[in-house]
Chain A
């Protein structure tokens, strides 16, 4: 393991009337060299604190942070050989673009010529050639972001930390930068820890995703794994959207399952579910895109409560035996809206469903 967090806990002491805060609780993360790992979670979940622990801006109350085989708990920030892209970019306002990027190299007392070559190279990477003498306040948000990235990359850090680097950009630019960062990371192969609250960003960028909630690690895995097999209701609902239906296992044999929901039988076939047993009560996780709403045929009977046209899709809220579930119709051939109040037939795309133990 290149960078690992072993049972890391951070408790902020009570101060100024506020009680003690358990910001990070017993978190374990392991990152291989060259991987980009995302910390994803709602605000206040401890993801930024985790990043700051790795950066050395905070020190863990207990547990170890290990980089390249060495425990770095007590190593101050400036000796950690990492670099960071901040949410606010934190561009030094009194230095121009070139001086900003050269800052860390000056600290290391790198020779003038080498600084020049290295900076030219990163400026080329982030497409900022010709901007060397600009002052930060003459740059657009996107350009500032690139400067921040260049300043971090030029250091060839052991780990590149990024704290919601794209959250201050507009949607289009954000999508563009996502791919650029991903590409740079693939090309240069740097190890990176990336904080975001945007699940799409996490999906696009990461080799692995850490889902955090309330200071605890909820799930750690590849983006596809997390989306397909969320480990908890929280993860299922946080990554994508999910309807939870109470259900019961009727039959279970090596991942071959028959499940009863609303007194109808559904079958699932996936070795992943081999540890369920018959009679067990479960949560059936149904993502909106797995719900087919039809006028004519289907397993369940429901009624359209609301129907919203979203352009690329239609979102229905269906009353299914008293439970409201969300469905999403994405088939371009079915873009005629079923009016609210219409009785409908409903089906699930059965082999894509997911079950959770209660």
Chain B
């Protein structure tokens, strides 16, 4: 047997350049066009909506609005320090073209306060998270389930809800501070505003992250390890110190780092409660909203991004690799509880106190929306709600609609990415994994900034890149013969480019005045329908053109839908009752949204859809059909607005997706890792291709994860603020952004009503999903809002 082992070692340690094998891996995936589609589409999504905007933001900080290279914003940090000389030097060589003197103090204060806030919040947040986790997992506190639910409330509320409540309780006209304790305030000394208030608020908002993380870790600690230590004679405290704690260190460290990032990225709470303290996120917000200074905002974003990115990488590649506790395994069977009664009581009391506080905080928000003027006049009244119906109904409808619309997309797309990451072998998997998480990990402000910078302007370069990737995919997918591939490429791209000028006649009025974008939709739609019908009529290809026909119909509907939405809008305008009027008008908008995908996005999708229609078709005129299909995709890609999306619903939708997909991916990955891969192989050897397998086997098995993915996504959409605050427009209004911009004029009660609405909408959604799970799908599972 010794020989055998030696043989095996020799076999496994052989190292050689495996480039050829890697290429053959790709070729292997390419054998299954559906898989290839999923893969390339995911990469395109990440490139366009995650990497590209983040890179745009990072670069913008180095360029003035006139396009000159400039390090001013970074140099300002060093003003008034020993580096002044360097700044002077940089000015001489024109690397710094704006004034830096006088800025240093403020810039450094802000950075210092931000870091201070991050450290304090992550320390206390982790501490409270640990107390909650230990109490629920190890102390078996009575009412565990209740404690757990209370701890989850902050995750379903808008990011400034706690701040609002704290101001109402402890602010200058707060219920407790003014009305009960009769304290007289001197600004900046003994009030809630400032660093102390900010940290308290952030701890309450974010400790859930730490709690959930440590909880799942403690549940997975193998009880036998502690039992082993006990049999070796270790006392409780000694055991905790030498076994339990070291095993939890990776979890504690990750929690600390994550909270640090969350805290630094938080925009809502500092805006409300920071008082005269300014933190980076508010500074960025002011730079965009107040000064319209994108250079400053982008540069500061980069300053904010760097620590975030470092923390993210450390957490992902260092701590997780050093974790002793398997994160994917099921909770261990053996459970051990804290034996000392004193400790149990202490933890129980602590947890109940914090829970009580959280309950009070949220009750305050609701109460506040129901009285006339909190702090001054406590008469119960529905005035605030009336104001809401009068002025805020559109934004509530918009927010709910956009969140709902993005939710299933996020959940399903997240599952697909998770499937690719867990089940498939390919080079670049790390990038997919990293990229799909990145959008949620970086501060939302950076995503928002990136979206403005990336999608406010025509971007032909990106369109060309997409065209290259798409066409390459199309020709490799539909044909094996190099000559045919080149023929398809040349003709398809040529015809496509020509047709893309049809809308307005093209650059030099190549095609006269053009036929308008609306008619181009009709033309491409009609071509797709006809080609689909033609394929369907061929012998042996019945139903093969179905997808093409549906896509064609979709394109035609882009205009036809106006015949439904316009009358609806007009009848809305005629209504006398305010809420009916608003609802009808908004409804008209919502009907149009699904049919008005940005043209470039339709183009990208067409590459994949048409390739899937045609790759198995070997009937009459196959080359011609392939050329025409490619031409359709190229036409749509190059026509219309070319990546300009600002002011549309889609810029907000994509920002939502970028923010919520990471959570879906994570829940999908966790679910898939629990399922034996051979189950999918069994389906495949019984004849199911990858789409059939995914639909019939994988998806049903990860339904619970999909449903919790839906919940995470919806919650994330409804409560997101920093990512969309720069993207809202007059037509598409988001509640959180409205609160941010309006609360100073409208008063805190106004913010409280909106916050209540958000919480209620989210809770209704969670309730519905739970109902569907239990009553309709009859899945016996606990859906947790375990988004971290």
Contact = CB atoms under 8 A, between A and B. Distances in A.
A61 interface: yes
Contact of A20 (B10, B16, B688): B16
A67 to B, nearest CB: 14
A92 B679 contact: yes
A77 B21 contact: no
B12 A90 contact: no
B7 A18 contact: no
B686 A90 contact: no
B681 A20 contact: no
Contacts of B342: none
A161 B28 CA distance: 22
B8 A83 contact: no
Interface string A83-125: 1101110111110000000011001100000000000000000
B655 to A, nearest CB: 33
A78 B18 contact: no
A28 interface: no
Interface in B658-684: 676, 678-679, 681-684
A83 B681 contact: no
A74 interface: yes
Given A13-B21, A22-B11, A92 B697 contact: yes
B707 to A, nearest CB: 14
B130 to A, nearest CB: 32
B701 A94 contact: yes
Contacts of B28: 59
Given A13-B25, A14-B18, A61-B21, A88 B683 contact: no
B8 A44 contact: yes
Contacts of A161: 685
Interface in B16-67: 16, 18, 21-22, 24-25, 28, 31-32
Contacts of A108: 687
A55 interface: yes
Contact of B682 (A15, A61, A86): A86
A78 B688 contact: yes
Given A88-B678, A90-B679, A214-B7, A20 B14 contact: yes
A284 B679 CA distance: 47
Contacts of A20: 14-16, 18, 21
B683 A103 contact: yes
Nearest to A25: B11
Contact of B7 (A56, A57, A80, A213): A213
Interface residues on A, range: 35 or more
B678 A18 contact: no
Nearest to B703: A94
B13 interface: yes
A206 to B, nearest CB: 22
A151 interface: yes
Given A55-B685, A78-B687, A94-B700, A213 B21 contact: no
B189 interface: no
A76 B678 CA distance: 16
A92 B699 CA distance: 12
Interface string A10-54: 011111001111110000000000000000001011000000000
A223 interface: no
B692 interface: yes
A45 B4 CA distance: 9
Nearest to B8: A44
B686 A104 contact: yes
Contacts of B4: 42, 45, 213-214, 234
A92 B676 contact: no
Contacts of B7: 213-214
Contacts of B676: 88, 90
Interface in A180-223: 213-215
B291 interface: no
A30 to B, nearest CB: 22
A74 B14 CA distance: 27
Interface in A50-75: 55-57, 59, 61, 74
30 contacts: A11-B18, A12-B21, A14-B16, A15-B425, A19-B12, A20-B18, A21-B14, A22-B11, A23-B11, A45-B4, A55-B681, A59-B24, A74-B31, A76-B32, A78-B684, A78-B692, A83-B686, A88-B676, A90-B678, A90-B682, A92-B697, A94-B697, A103-B696, A104-B688, A107-B686, A108-B687, A151-B682, A155-B687, A233-B3, A234-B3
Given A56-B685, A92-B683, 7 more contacts: A20-B21, A76-B684, A84-B681, A90-B678, A91-B679, A155-B686, A214-B7
Interface of B: 1, 3-4, 7-8, 10-16, 18, 21-22, 24-25, 28, 31-32, 425, 676, 678-679, 681-689, 692, 696-697, 700-701
Question: 4 closest Cβ contacts across the A-B interface?
Answer: A13-B18, A104-B686, A214-B7, A13-B21
